[in-house]
Chains A and B, each alone.
Chain A
Amino acid sequence: MLEVEGLRSRYGRIEVLHGVDLKVSQGEIVTVVGANGAGKTTLLRCLSGVQPVSGGRISFQGQPLTGVPAWKRPARGLTQSPEGRQIFGNLTVEENLRLGAWNFKDERVGKDMEDAFQMFPILREKRNLAAGGLSGGQQQMLAMARALMGRPACLLLDEPSMGLAPIIVQQIFDVVESLRGRGVTVLLVEQNAFGALRIADRGYVMENGRIAMQGAAAELIADPRIREAYLGI
Protein backbone atom coordinates (compact mmCIF):
# COMPACT_ATOMS: atom_id res chain seq x y z
CA MET A 1 0.00 0.00 0.00
CA LEU A 2 2.79 2.40 0.96
CA GLU A 3 6.29 2.04 -0.45
CA VAL A 4 9.24 4.23 0.38
CA GLU A 5 12.55 3.78 -1.44
CA GLY A 6 15.82 5.55 -0.77
CA LEU A 7 14.05 8.56 0.72
CA ARG A 8 16.26 11.54 1.43
CA SER A 9 15.29 14.83 3.00
CA ARG A 10 17.10 17.84 4.36
CA TYR A 11 16.54 20.96 6.44
CA GLY A 12 18.46 23.61 4.57
CA ARG A 13 21.86 22.05 3.88
CA ILE A 14 21.69 19.42 6.56
CA GLU A 15 20.45 16.06 5.36
CA VAL A 16 18.49 14.21 8.05
CA LEU A 17 17.09 11.26 6.08
CA HIS A 18 19.85 9.39 4.24
CA GLY A 19 17.94 6.93 2.13
CA VAL A 20 15.08 5.32 4.01
CA ASP A 21 13.39 2.15 2.71
CA LEU A 22 10.11 1.11 4.18
CA LYS A 23 6.98 -0.76 3.18
CA VAL A 24 3.51 -0.96 4.66
CA SER A 25 1.02 -3.50 3.36
CA GLN A 26 -2.75 -3.25 3.38
CA GLY A 27 -4.23 -3.88 6.82
CA GLU A 28 -0.94 -3.84 8.72
CA ILE A 29 0.05 -1.85 11.76
CA VAL A 30 3.67 -0.93 11.19
CA THR A 31 5.71 1.03 13.67
CA VAL A 32 8.86 3.09 13.30
CA VAL A 33 10.66 3.42 16.61
CA GLY A 34 13.81 5.32 17.39
CA ALA A 35 15.37 7.87 19.66
CA ASN A 36 14.56 11.56 19.65
CA GLY A 37 16.09 13.18 16.55
CA ALA A 38 16.32 9.96 14.54
CA GLY A 39 14.20 11.43 11.73
CA LYS A 40 10.82 9.80 12.38
CA THR A 41 8.82 13.02 12.18
CA THR A 42 10.70 14.10 9.07
CA LEU A 43 9.76 10.80 7.44
CA LEU A 44 6.05 11.33 8.15
CA ARG A 45 6.27 14.96 7.00
CA CYS A 46 7.68 13.73 3.69
CA LEU A 47 4.87 11.20 3.36
CA SER A 48 2.25 13.91 3.90
CA GLY A 49 4.01 16.26 1.51
CA VAL A 50 4.73 19.07 3.95
CA GLN A 51 8.48 18.48 3.79
CA PRO A 52 10.61 18.65 0.63
CA VAL A 53 12.05 15.36 -0.55
CA SER A 54 15.55 15.53 -1.97
CA GLY A 55 15.87 11.97 -3.21
CA GLY A 56 14.17 8.60 -3.51
CA ARG A 57 10.53 7.90 -4.11
CA ILE A 58 7.26 7.35 -2.29
CA SER A 59 4.35 5.51 -3.79
CA PHE A 60 0.94 5.01 -2.29
CA GLN A 61 -1.64 2.51 -3.54
CA GLY A 62 0.50 1.93 -6.60
CA GLN A 63 0.86 5.59 -7.57
CA PRO A 64 3.84 7.87 -7.04
CA LEU A 65 3.27 10.74 -4.61
CA THR A 66 6.07 12.82 -6.12
CA GLY A 67 4.74 16.25 -6.98
CA VAL A 68 1.37 15.67 -5.31
CA PRO A 69 0.83 18.70 -3.04
CA ALA A 70 0.15 18.08 0.63
CA TRP A 71 -3.46 19.21 0.46
CA LYS A 72 -4.32 16.59 -2.17
CA ARG A 73 -2.97 13.65 -0.19
CA PRO A 74 -5.84 13.20 2.28
CA ALA A 75 -8.21 12.76 -0.66
CA ARG A 76 -5.95 9.93 -1.85
CA GLY A 77 -6.47 8.18 1.48
CA LEU A 78 -3.43 9.29 3.43
CA THR A 79 -4.05 11.35 6.57
CA GLN A 80 -1.85 12.20 9.54
CA SER A 81 -2.17 12.92 13.22
CA PRO A 82 0.97 15.04 13.58
CA GLU A 83 3.52 15.37 16.34
CA GLY A 84 2.40 17.84 18.99
CA ARG A 85 -1.32 17.31 18.10
CA GLN A 86 -1.61 20.55 16.06
CA ILE A 87 -5.32 20.90 16.73
CA PHE A 88 -7.18 24.06 15.69
CA GLY A 89 -7.18 25.65 19.14
CA ASN A 90 -9.53 28.53 18.32
CA LEU A 91 -12.20 26.26 16.86
CA THR A 92 -14.51 23.91 18.74
CA VAL A 93 -13.94 20.17 19.05
CA GLU A 94 -16.78 19.55 16.61
CA GLU A 95 -15.42 22.07 14.11
CA ASN A 96 -12.02 20.37 14.30
CA LEU A 97 -13.66 17.06 13.47
CA ARG A 98 -15.74 18.57 10.68
CA LEU A 99 -12.60 20.04 9.12
CA GLY A 100 -11.00 16.60 9.32
CA ALA A 101 -13.64 15.57 6.79
CA TRP A 102 -12.91 18.65 4.66
CA ASN A 103 -13.04 16.62 1.44
CA PHE A 104 -16.49 15.22 2.17
CA LYS A 105 -20.02 16.59 2.19
CA ASP A 106 -22.15 13.44 2.35
CA GLU A 107 -24.16 11.94 5.23
CA ARG A 108 -21.26 9.73 6.20
CA VAL A 109 -19.62 12.77 7.81
CA GLY A 110 -22.19 12.71 10.60
CA LYS A 111 -21.84 8.97 10.98
CA ASP A 112 -18.06 9.20 11.16
CA MET A 113 -18.34 11.89 13.81
CA GLU A 114 -20.62 9.64 15.80
CA ASP A 115 -17.97 6.90 15.49
CA ALA A 116 -15.31 9.31 16.70
CA PHE A 117 -17.43 10.19 19.74
CA GLN A 118 -17.90 6.52 20.46
CA MET A 119 -14.18 5.94 20.22
CA PHE A 120 -13.42 8.91 22.49
CA PRO A 121 -16.53 9.69 24.58
CA ILE A 122 -14.84 12.65 26.28
CA LEU A 123 -14.84 14.46 22.93
CA ARG A 124 -18.63 14.26 22.80
CA GLU A 125 -18.85 15.97 26.18
CA LYS A 126 -16.53 18.74 25.01
CA ARG A 127 -17.84 19.00 21.47
CA ASN A 128 -18.84 22.66 21.72
CA LEU A 129 -15.77 23.85 23.61
CA ALA A 130 -12.70 25.47 22.09
CA ALA A 131 -10.19 22.72 21.37
CA GLY A 132 -7.37 24.87 22.79
CA GLY A 133 -8.83 24.35 26.26
CA LEU A 134 -8.59 20.54 26.17
CA SER A 135 -6.01 18.62 28.19
CA GLY A 136 -3.02 17.09 26.38
CA GLY A 137 -4.60 13.65 26.26
CA GLN A 138 -7.89 15.02 24.95
CA GLN A 139 -6.07 17.02 22.29
CA GLN A 140 -4.29 13.85 21.20
CA MET A 141 -7.60 12.04 20.92
CA LEU A 142 -8.97 14.94 18.91
CA ALA A 143 -5.97 14.93 16.57
CA MET A 144 -6.43 11.20 15.93
CA ALA A 145 -10.18 11.50 15.52
CA ARG A 146 -9.71 14.41 13.12
CA ALA A 147 -7.32 12.37 11.00
CA LEU A 148 -9.81 9.48 10.98
CA MET A 149 -12.60 11.80 9.82
CA GLY A 150 -10.64 12.04 6.55
CA ARG A 151 -11.47 8.35 5.86
CA PRO A 152 -7.86 7.27 5.52
CA ALA A 153 -6.85 4.05 3.85
CA CYS A 154 -3.58 4.60 5.70
CA LEU A 155 -3.24 6.64 8.88
CA LEU A 156 0.07 8.19 9.88
CA LEU A 157 0.44 8.66 13.64
CA ASP A 158 3.31 10.67 15.04
CA GLU A 159 4.05 9.98 18.72
CA PRO A 160 0.47 9.75 19.98
CA SER A 161 1.73 8.78 23.45
CA MET A 162 4.11 11.70 23.90
CA GLY A 163 3.80 13.39 27.28
CA LEU A 164 0.68 11.51 28.35
CA ALA A 165 -0.20 9.65 31.54
CA PRO A 166 0.14 5.83 31.27
CA ILE A 167 -3.60 5.23 31.51
CA ILE A 168 -4.28 7.58 28.57
CA VAL A 169 -1.42 6.02 26.61
CA GLN A 170 -3.04 2.65 27.08
CA GLN A 171 -6.39 3.97 25.88
CA ILE A 172 -4.79 5.47 22.79
CA PHE A 173 -2.85 2.33 21.91
CA ASP A 174 -6.06 0.33 22.34
CA VAL A 175 -7.77 2.56 19.81
CA VAL A 176 -4.86 2.22 17.38
CA GLU A 177 -5.07 -1.52 17.69
CA SER A 178 -8.82 -1.40 17.06
CA LEU A 179 -8.20 0.31 13.72
CA ARG A 180 -7.12 -3.07 12.36
CA GLY A 181 -10.74 -4.17 12.58
CA ARG A 182 -11.87 -1.07 10.69
CA GLY A 183 -9.66 -1.74 7.72
CA VAL A 184 -7.38 1.21 8.36
CA THR A 185 -3.71 0.59 7.72
CA VAL A 186 -1.49 2.30 10.30
CA LEU A 187 2.04 3.66 10.26
CA LEU A 188 2.83 4.50 13.87
CA VAL A 189 5.90 6.48 14.83
CA GLU A 190 6.87 6.19 18.50
CA GLN A 191 9.63 6.74 21.01
CA ASN A 192 7.63 4.49 23.30
CA ALA A 193 9.01 1.43 21.51
CA PHE A 194 7.57 -1.13 23.87
CA GLY A 195 4.00 0.16 23.64
CA ALA A 196 4.22 0.47 19.88
CA LEU A 197 5.82 -2.91 19.19
CA ARG A 198 3.26 -4.64 21.36
CA ILE A 199 0.39 -3.65 19.08
CA ALA A 200 2.28 -3.62 15.75
CA ASP A 201 2.69 -6.38 13.18
CA ARG A 202 6.08 -5.22 12.03
CA GLY A 203 8.56 -2.65 13.14
CA TYR A 204 11.47 -0.58 11.90
CA VAL A 205 14.18 0.85 14.09
CA MET A 206 15.41 4.21 12.90
CA GLU A 207 18.82 5.61 13.86
CA ASN A 208 20.29 8.87 12.56
CA GLY A 209 18.16 9.04 9.45
CA ARG A 210 18.58 5.38 8.46
CA ILE A 211 16.69 2.17 9.07
CA ALA A 212 18.96 0.24 11.43
CA MET A 213 16.82 -2.84 11.95
CA GLN A 214 13.50 -4.25 10.88
CA GLY A 215 11.38 -7.29 11.43
CA ALA A 216 8.25 -8.75 12.94
CA ALA A 217 7.26 -6.82 16.04
CA ALA A 218 7.45 -9.90 18.23
CA GLU A 219 11.01 -10.58 17.08
CA LEU A 220 12.09 -7.01 17.69
CA ILE A 221 10.68 -7.06 21.21
CA ALA A 222 12.66 -10.22 21.88
CA ASP A 223 15.90 -8.94 20.35
CA PRO A 224 18.51 -8.32 23.07
CA ARG A 225 20.00 -5.27 21.33
CA ILE A 226 16.59 -3.63 21.12
CA ARG A 227 15.72 -4.57 24.66
CA GLU A 228 18.83 -2.80 25.82
CA ALA A 229 18.74 0.26 23.58
CA TYR A 230 15.04 1.03 23.38
CA LEU A 231 13.11 -0.92 25.93
CA GLY A 232 15.42 -0.28 28.86
CA ILE A 233 15.26 -3.92 29.92
Chain B
Amino acid sequence: MSELLQFLFSGVTVGAVYALVALGFTIIYNASDVVNFAQGEFVMLGGMITWFAHQAGIPLPVAAFLAISITAAIGVAMNKLAIEPARGAPIVSLIIITIGASIFLQGAAQLVFDKQIHDFPAFSGDAPIRVGGATILPQSLWVIGGALAVFVGLWIFFTRTLLGRAVLATSNNRLAAQLVGINTNFVMTLSFALSAGIGALAGVLATPITLTAYNVGIAFALKGFAGAMLGGMGNPKGALVGGFLIGLIEALTAGYLSSQYKDAAAFVVILLVLFVRPQGLFGRKSTDRV
Protein backbone atom coordinates (compact mmCIF):
# COMPACT_ATOMS: atom_id res chain seq x y z
CA MET B 1 0.00 0.00 0.00
CA SER B 2 2.70 2.48 0.96
CA GLU B 3 4.55 1.31 -2.13
CA LEU B 4 1.61 2.30 -4.34
CA LEU B 5 1.37 5.64 -2.54
CA GLN B 6 5.05 6.22 -3.20
CA PHE B 7 4.57 5.55 -6.91
CA LEU B 8 1.59 7.88 -6.96
CA PHE B 9 3.61 10.66 -5.33
CA SER B 10 6.37 10.39 -7.85
CA GLY B 11 3.81 10.14 -10.67
CA VAL B 12 2.05 13.29 -9.59
CA THR B 13 5.37 15.13 -9.32
CA VAL B 14 6.58 14.37 -12.85
CA GLY B 15 2.98 14.64 -14.02
CA ALA B 16 2.90 18.24 -12.82
CA VAL B 17 5.96 18.99 -14.95
CA TYR B 18 4.33 17.33 -17.98
CA ALA B 19 1.15 19.29 -17.27
CA LEU B 20 3.12 22.54 -17.42
CA VAL B 21 4.69 21.49 -20.73
CA ALA B 22 1.26 20.47 -22.04
CA LEU B 23 -0.17 23.85 -21.02
CA GLY B 24 2.63 25.49 -23.00
CA PHE B 25 1.65 23.43 -26.05
CA THR B 26 -1.96 24.49 -25.53
CA ILE B 27 -1.29 28.22 -25.69
CA ILE B 28 0.61 28.20 -28.96
CA TYR B 29 -1.77 25.66 -30.44
CA ASN B 30 -4.72 27.85 -29.47
CA ALA B 31 -3.21 30.90 -31.09
CA SER B 32 -1.95 29.29 -34.28
CA ASP B 33 -2.82 25.58 -34.61
CA VAL B 34 0.92 24.92 -34.47
CA VAL B 35 2.24 22.15 -32.21
CA ASN B 36 5.50 23.68 -30.99
CA PHE B 37 7.99 20.85 -30.51
CA ALA B 38 10.55 23.29 -29.12
CA GLN B 39 8.40 23.43 -25.99
CA GLY B 40 10.73 21.00 -24.21
CA GLU B 41 13.73 23.23 -24.93
CA PHE B 42 12.05 26.00 -22.97
CA VAL B 43 12.02 23.65 -19.97
CA MET B 44 15.69 22.89 -20.52
CA LEU B 45 16.53 26.59 -20.83
CA GLY B 46 14.64 27.40 -17.64
CA GLY B 47 16.75 24.88 -15.72
CA MET B 48 20.07 25.57 -17.42
CA ILE B 49 19.92 29.37 -17.25
CA THR B 50 18.89 29.25 -13.59
CA TRP B 51 21.78 26.90 -12.80
CA PHE B 52 24.23 29.06 -14.75
CA ALA B 53 23.14 32.30 -13.09
CA HIS B 54 23.00 30.71 -9.64
CA GLN B 55 26.50 29.24 -9.78
CA ALA B 56 27.72 32.66 -10.95
CA GLY B 57 26.59 33.98 -7.58
CA ILE B 58 23.11 35.34 -8.35
CA PRO B 59 20.51 34.52 -5.64
CA LEU B 60 18.23 31.66 -6.68
CA PRO B 61 14.95 33.60 -6.94
CA VAL B 62 16.62 36.25 -9.11
CA ALA B 63 18.29 33.56 -11.22
CA ALA B 64 14.91 31.87 -11.73
CA PHE B 65 13.29 35.16 -12.69
CA LEU B 66 16.08 35.85 -15.16
CA ALA B 67 15.77 32.38 -16.66
CA ILE B 68 12.03 32.73 -17.18
CA SER B 69 12.39 36.20 -18.73
CA ILE B 70 15.25 35.22 -21.02
CA THR B 71 13.43 32.07 -22.15
CA ALA B 72 10.28 34.08 -22.86
CA ALA B 73 12.41 36.42 -24.99
CA ILE B 74 13.87 33.42 -26.81
CA GLY B 75 10.33 32.20 -27.48
CA VAL B 76 9.44 35.59 -28.95
CA ALA B 77 12.59 35.57 -31.09
CA MET B 78 11.76 32.10 -32.33
CA ASN B 79 8.33 33.30 -33.42
CA LYS B 80 9.71 36.42 -35.12
CA LEU B 81 12.61 34.70 -36.87
CA ALA B 82 11.26 31.26 -37.69
CA ILE B 83 7.46 31.12 -37.52
CA GLU B 84 6.25 34.56 -38.61
CA PRO B 85 8.25 34.63 -41.88
CA ALA B 86 6.70 31.26 -42.81
CA ARG B 87 3.15 32.44 -42.10
CA GLY B 88 0.82 31.01 -44.69
CA ALA B 89 2.86 27.84 -45.10
CA PRO B 90 1.01 24.59 -44.31
CA ILE B 91 0.80 23.76 -40.60
CA VAL B 92 2.99 20.70 -41.14
CA SER B 93 5.81 22.93 -42.40
CA LEU B 94 5.47 25.16 -39.35
CA ILE B 95 5.65 22.13 -37.06
CA ILE B 96 8.80 20.98 -38.83
CA ILE B 97 10.24 24.46 -38.30
CA THR B 98 9.62 24.09 -34.56
CA ILE B 99 11.51 20.78 -34.63
CA GLY B 100 14.38 22.61 -36.33
CA ALA B 101 14.25 25.33 -33.68
CA SER B 102 14.37 22.65 -31.01
CA ILE B 103 17.54 21.14 -32.47
CA PHE B 104 19.06 24.60 -32.79
CA LEU B 105 18.30 25.56 -29.19
CA GLN B 106 19.75 22.29 -27.95
CA GLY B 107 22.97 22.87 -29.91
CA ALA B 108 23.18 26.45 -28.71
CA ALA B 109 22.73 25.39 -25.09
CA GLN B 110 25.51 22.83 -25.48
CA LEU B 111 27.83 25.57 -26.77
CA VAL B 112 26.87 28.36 -24.38
CA PHE B 113 26.75 26.13 -21.29
CA ASP B 114 28.21 22.62 -21.40
CA LYS B 115 27.36 18.93 -21.67
CA GLN B 116 27.27 18.20 -17.94
CA ILE B 117 24.30 17.39 -15.75
CA HIS B 118 23.40 20.20 -13.33
CA ASP B 119 21.07 21.12 -10.54
CA PHE B 120 20.53 23.77 -7.92
CA PRO B 121 19.15 23.61 -4.36
CA ALA B 122 15.51 22.77 -3.68
CA PHE B 123 13.50 25.83 -2.61
CA SER B 124 12.38 24.50 0.78
CA GLY B 125 15.09 22.01 1.68
CA ASP B 126 15.42 18.31 1.02
CA ALA B 127 13.82 16.85 4.14
CA PRO B 128 11.17 14.37 2.88
CA ILE B 129 7.67 14.79 4.25
CA ARG B 130 6.14 11.51 5.51
CA VAL B 131 2.58 10.87 4.40
CA GLY B 132 0.84 7.52 5.08
CA GLY B 133 3.97 5.39 4.97
CA ALA B 134 5.39 7.10 1.90
CA THR B 135 7.42 10.27 1.49
CA ILE B 136 7.20 13.30 -0.72
CA LEU B 137 9.81 15.99 -1.27
CA PRO B 138 8.96 19.60 -0.46
CA GLN B 139 10.08 20.45 -4.01
CA SER B 140 7.35 18.15 -5.35
CA LEU B 141 4.82 20.37 -3.67
CA TRP B 142 6.37 23.37 -5.41
CA VAL B 143 6.04 21.64 -8.78
CA ILE B 144 2.45 20.56 -8.19
CA GLY B 145 1.50 23.98 -6.83
CA GLY B 146 3.16 25.62 -9.84
CA ALA B 147 1.18 23.51 -12.30
CA LEU B 148 -2.11 24.23 -10.55
CA ALA B 149 -1.39 27.96 -10.29
CA VAL B 150 -0.49 28.23 -13.98
CA PHE B 151 -3.61 26.30 -14.91
CA VAL B 152 -5.88 28.60 -12.90
CA GLY B 153 -4.13 31.64 -14.34
CA LEU B 154 -4.58 30.40 -17.89
CA TRP B 155 -8.15 29.39 -17.30
CA ILE B 156 -8.97 32.89 -16.10
CA PHE B 157 -7.02 34.35 -19.01
CA PHE B 158 -8.85 32.40 -21.69
CA THR B 159 -12.36 32.51 -20.25
CA ARG B 160 -12.50 35.80 -18.39
CA THR B 161 -10.35 38.32 -20.23
CA LEU B 162 -10.89 40.01 -23.57
CA LEU B 163 -7.24 39.49 -24.50
CA GLY B 164 -7.59 35.75 -23.85
CA ARG B 165 -10.62 35.63 -26.12
CA ALA B 166 -8.65 37.53 -28.73
CA VAL B 167 -6.10 34.70 -28.66
CA LEU B 168 -8.88 32.16 -29.21
CA ALA B 169 -10.41 34.32 -31.93
CA THR B 170 -7.07 34.60 -33.69
CA SER B 171 -6.71 30.84 -33.87
CA ASN B 172 -10.31 30.34 -34.90
CA ASN B 173 -10.26 32.88 -37.71
CA ARG B 174 -7.19 35.01 -38.28
CA LEU B 175 -8.80 37.07 -41.04
CA ALA B 176 -11.82 37.94 -38.92
CA ALA B 177 -9.56 38.72 -35.96
CA GLN B 178 -7.72 41.29 -38.08
CA LEU B 179 -10.99 42.71 -39.35
CA VAL B 180 -12.14 43.51 -35.80
CA GLY B 181 -8.81 45.19 -35.09
CA ILE B 182 -6.83 42.51 -33.29
CA ASN B 183 -3.09 42.72 -33.95
CA THR B 184 -2.66 39.04 -34.73
CA ASN B 185 1.13 39.26 -34.85
CA PHE B 186 1.10 40.61 -31.32
CA VAL B 187 -1.18 37.75 -30.26
CA MET B 188 1.39 35.30 -31.64
CA THR B 189 4.23 37.11 -29.88
CA LEU B 190 2.31 37.04 -26.63
CA SER B 191 1.53 33.34 -27.02
CA PHE B 192 5.15 32.42 -27.58
CA ALA B 193 6.28 34.57 -24.63
CA LEU B 194 3.68 33.02 -22.32
CA SER B 195 4.31 29.53 -23.51
CA ALA B 196 8.09 29.80 -23.29
CA GLY B 197 7.83 31.43 -19.86
CA ILE B 198 5.64 28.60 -18.57
CA GLY B 199 8.05 26.02 -20.03
CA ALA B 200 10.95 27.76 -18.26
CA LEU B 201 9.00 27.84 -15.02
CA ALA B 202 8.58 24.07 -15.32
CA GLY B 203 12.36 23.76 -15.71
CA VAL B 204 12.99 25.99 -12.70
CA LEU B 205 10.62 24.03 -10.48
CA ALA B 206 11.64 20.55 -11.64
CA THR B 207 15.42 20.78 -11.87
CA PRO B 208 16.12 20.21 -8.13
CA ILE B 209 14.32 16.85 -8.58
CA THR B 210 14.90 15.80 -12.19
CA LEU B 211 18.27 17.55 -12.79
CA THR B 212 18.95 19.28 -16.07
CA ALA B 213 21.29 19.15 -19.06
CA TYR B 214 21.34 20.53 -22.60
CA ASN B 215 19.50 17.47 -23.94
CA VAL B 216 16.60 16.99 -21.49
CA GLY B 217 14.16 18.95 -23.67
CA ILE B 218 13.07 16.24 -26.07
CA ALA B 219 11.79 13.92 -23.38
CA PHE B 220 9.78 16.74 -21.80
CA ALA B 221 8.37 17.73 -25.17
CA LEU B 222 7.26 14.19 -26.01
CA LYS B 223 5.65 13.57 -22.65
CA GLY B 224 4.02 16.97 -22.51
CA PHE B 225 2.75 16.35 -26.04
CA ALA B 226 1.36 12.98 -24.97
CA GLY B 227 -0.38 14.72 -22.08
CA ALA B 228 -1.84 17.41 -24.33
CA MET B 229 -3.02 14.77 -26.83
CA LEU B 230 -4.54 12.64 -24.10
CA GLY B 231 -6.42 15.59 -22.61
CA GLY B 232 -7.40 17.03 -25.99
CA MET B 233 -5.12 19.43 -27.86
CA GLY B 234 -5.98 23.05 -27.17
CA ASN B 235 -7.91 22.51 -23.96
CA PRO B 236 -6.19 23.81 -20.77
CA LYS B 237 -8.16 21.44 -18.54
CA GLY B 238 -7.20 18.58 -20.84
CA ALA B 239 -3.55 19.60 -20.69
CA LEU B 240 -3.58 19.61 -16.90
CA VAL B 241 -5.35 16.27 -16.50
CA GLY B 242 -3.47 14.68 -19.42
CA GLY B 243 -0.10 15.77 -18.06
CA PHE B 244 -0.81 14.35 -14.59
CA LEU B 245 -2.12 11.10 -16.12
CA ILE B 246 1.01 10.62 -18.21
CA GLY B 247 3.13 11.13 -15.09
CA LEU B 248 1.06 8.60 -13.15
CA ILE B 249 1.08 6.04 -15.97
CA GLU B 250 4.83 6.43 -16.25
CA ALA B 251 5.43 6.06 -12.51
CA LEU B 252 3.19 3.00 -12.24
CA THR B 253 4.83 1.42 -15.30
CA ALA B 254 8.24 2.01 -13.79
CA GLY B 255 7.11 0.72 -10.39
CA TYR B 256 5.20 -2.41 -11.36
CA LEU B 257 6.68 -3.38 -14.72
CA SER B 258 10.16 -2.08 -15.24
CA SER B 259 11.73 1.34 -15.40
CA GLN B 260 12.95 0.30 -18.85
CA TYR B 261 9.39 0.62 -20.14
CA LYS B 262 8.85 3.96 -18.45
CA ASP B 263 9.55 6.08 -21.53
CA ALA B 264 7.54 3.78 -23.78
CA ALA B 265 4.40 4.57 -21.78
CA ALA B 266 4.02 8.02 -23.34
CA PHE B 267 4.34 6.57 -26.86
CA VAL B 268 1.76 3.91 -26.17
CA VAL B 269 -0.61 6.59 -24.91
CA ILE B 270 -0.07 8.74 -28.03
CA LEU B 271 -0.84 5.73 -30.26
CA LEU B 272 -3.88 4.70 -28.25
CA VAL B 273 -5.29 8.22 -28.32
CA LEU B 274 -4.76 8.46 -32.06
CA PHE B 275 -6.58 5.19 -32.69
CA VAL B 276 -9.32 5.30 -30.09
CA ARG B 277 -10.14 8.94 -29.39
CA PRO B 278 -8.21 11.42 -31.55
CA GLN B 279 -9.92 14.40 -29.94
CA GLY B 280 -8.63 13.36 -26.50
CA LEU B 281 -10.52 13.14 -23.22
CA PHE B 282 -11.81 16.74 -23.16
CA GLY B 283 -11.43 17.70 -26.80
CA ARG B 284 -14.26 18.68 -29.05
CA LYS B 285 -14.77 16.74 -32.21
CA SER B 286 -12.99 18.72 -34.91
CA THR B 287 -14.59 22.14 -34.75
CA ASP B 288 -15.92 24.02 -37.71
CA ARG B 289 -13.13 25.88 -39.43
CA VAL B 290 -14.08 28.39 -42.03
Q: Write the residues of chain A forming the contact surface with B, with a CB cutoff of 8 angstroms.
A: 48-50, 69-75, 79-80, 82, 84-91, 95, 98-100, 102-103, 132, 146-147, 150
Query: What CA separation (Å) do A221 and B175 show in the bound complex?
Result: 34
Interface size of B by CB at 8 A reads 22
**Which DSSP category, helix, strand, loop or mixed, fits chain B's interface?**
helix
B169's contact among A48, A84, A91, by CB below 8 Å, is which? A91
Number of A-B contacts defined by CB within 8 Å: 80
Q: CB-defined interface of B210-240 with A at 8 Å, one 1/0 digit per residue? A: 0000000000000000000000000000000
Complex interface: chain B residues within 8 A of A74 (CB) = 179-181
Q: Which 8 A-B pairs have the closest CB atoms?
A: A74-B181, A86-B176, A70-B178, A71-B183, A132-B288, A89-B288, A102-B181, A88-B169
- B 248-274 binary contact with A (CB < 8 Å = 1; else 0): 000000000000000000000000000
Complex interface: chain B residues within 8 A of A103 (CB) = 181
Q: Are B181 and A71 in contact (CB under 8 A)?
A: yes
Mark interface residues in B177-188 (1 if CB within 8 Å of A CB, else 0): 111111110000
Chain B residues in the interface with A (C-beta under 8 A): 162, 165-166, 168-169, 172-173, 175-184, 284, 287-290
- Compute how far the CA of A70 lies from the CA of B177 in the bound complex, rounded to whole angstroms: 10
Decide if B287 touches A91 in the complex (CB within 8 Å): no
Which residues of A are found within 8 Å of B173, using beta-carbon distances? 86-89
Enumerate chain B residues within 8 angstroms of A102, measured Cβ to Cβ. Answer: 162, 166, 180-182
Tell me how far the C-beta of B106 lies from the nearest C-beta in chain A, rounded to whole angstroms.
Answer: 34
Query: Which residue in B165, B172, B179 is a CB contact (below 8 Å) of A50?
Result: B179
Closest to B30 in A: A90
Contact of A87 among B166, B168, B176, B183 (CB under 8 A): B176
Chain A residues with CB under 8 A of B184: 71
CB-defined A-B contacts under 8 Å, sample of 16: A50-B175, A71-B178, A71-B183, A80-B179, A82-B175, A85-B290, A86-B173, A86-B176, A86-B179, A88-B168, A88-B172, A89-B172, A90-B168, A99-B162, A102-B166, A102-B182
Say how far A143's CB is from chain B's closest CB, in angstroms.
8
Residue of B whose beta carbon sits closest to that of A69: B183
Complex Cα spacing A82 to B177, Å: 11
